[in-house]
Amino acid sequence: MLRILTVLGARPQFIKAAAVSRAIAGRPGLEEVVVHTGQHFDANMSAVFFDELGMRAPEHNLAVAGGTHGEQTGRMLAGVERVLRDVRPDWVLVYGDTNSTLAGALAAAKLLIPIAHVEAGLRSFNRRMPEEVNRVLTDHASDLLFAPTRTAVENLAREGITGDRVARVGDVMYDAARHYGALAEERSRVIEALGLVPGGYVLATVHRQENTDDVERLATIVEALAETAAELPVVLPLHPRTRKALAAAGLLGAAERVLRVIDPVGYLDIVMLERRARIIATDSGGMQKEAFFHRVPCVTLRDETEWVELVESGWNRLAPPSDRTAVRRELRRALDATERGASAPDLYGAGNAASLIVDRLVGVASARLVEA
């Protein structure tokens, strides 16, 4: 029995992991144990959330939340280490770029347990971002690096990570978009509930610390979205951090007057909101890709993006909130774009990344047994 221990902590990681968990469950001789660090625990990550994903609840919940980056990562590392000593897995599987990712990788590395990193090789080249530090350290600690794109493979090669350690498998988020897009069409009624017209609204999300902790950047985003709302409704599911930041900056009232501010919604509802939007404006890394998968133009409210292929192909537009003119200009250009529904380049594989990941995990483990 090949035992895989998966470390997760943020909502998007569970969505990515669900695709791989389905592939693991479909293979005889494999067992998965899921550890939830508790990094992003909220009411939406209840049994309903896991039911939506078709994923069982994690076997271990470390309930680590809050504190500085160092405090949080340290507590997670200690908690994951305890579970690893008990479970003794053959692989530790980590996703993306959160503190949970780094803690899982470090705990495994200290115990000499092989590490596999999904979404390896992404780089924004901005070391001020905690996520960038997490990505780089996790990649260099990992034994298997599952890169989603050609650019990610090239980034790893520049850092000396090459050969059989690296596998370009495509993006597991594409697997998720295909699977949950179909489910959302069947089950979600959010468009009707909010009285929205398909293709007749803008979906916006803001949650990154670089935006929520900077009053000027936050004000720029709200003002630009307010201008857009004069033309089309702007739906803003409000992340708790963003609500608190808007209130502290005295911007919450203005936002609620001109934008369709709503509470966070379930995953299938957010997928449906993405699929039916005219454009998406976001600082989320995952939503940039989901917009592309659903063929909806996207404006990224950041100074840079790790998904450079989307910008190069014209599907994504960078709008640094430090530049008020740029945010307004890129929102306008996206609204005027004609790409929606058009054919798009093959950037992220064929939607079978999860099965390729599991094949490689099994293959490498089998080769180790033969060598032993």
Same domain, 166 and 205: no
- Separation in Å, CA 211 to CA 250, 291, 312, 322: 15, 20, 24, 9
Assigned domain for 176 exists: no
pLDDT in tens, 7-51: 999 888 999 999 999 999 999 999 999 999 988 765 555 567 788
Assigned domain for 94 exists: yes
Q: Which residues contact 296 (CB under 8 A, 6 or more apart)?
A: 274, 275, 277, 278, 279, 280, 340
pLDDT in tens, 335-355: 998 655 556 788 999 999 999
Range in 13-17, 73-77, 363-367 with the lowest mean pLDDT: 363-367
Same domain, 271 and 327: yes
Which residue in the list 36, 117, 207, 294 is annotated as catalytic?
207
Residue 289 is encoded by which pair of tokens?
């890709």
Annotated catalytic residue 239: no
Assigned domain for 49 exists: yes
Same domain, 156 and 7: yes
Please, are residues 194 and 260 in contact by the beta-carbon 8 Å criterion? yes
DSSP run (H or E) holding 67: none
Number of domains present in the structure of the chain: 2
DSSP-H helix ranges across the chain: 11-25, 47-53, 69-87, 99-110, 130-141, 150-158, 172-187, 190-193, 209-212, 215-229, 240-248, 252-258, 267-276, 285-293, 308-312, 324-336, 353-371
Assigned domain for 177 exists: no
Q: In angstroms, rounded to a whole number, what is the distance separating the alpha carbons of residues 354 and 187?
A: 24
Range of the domain at 79: 2-171+349-371
Same domain, 83 and 201: no
Same domain, 322 and 354: no
Tell me the backbone φ, ψ of residue 299, rounded to 5 degrees.
-115, 120
Q: Other C-beta atoms within 10 Å of 5: how many?
A: 26
Assigned domain for 131 exists: yes
Same domain, 46 and 134: yes
pLDDT in tens, 281-325: 999 989 999 999 999 999 999 999 989 999 998 899 999 999 999
Same domain, 15 and 147: yes
* Global pTM value: 0.88
Provide the CATH number for the domain around residue 28: 3.40.50.2000
Nearest CA to 1 out of 366, 285, 315, 340 is that of 366
Average pLDDT of 65-73? 91
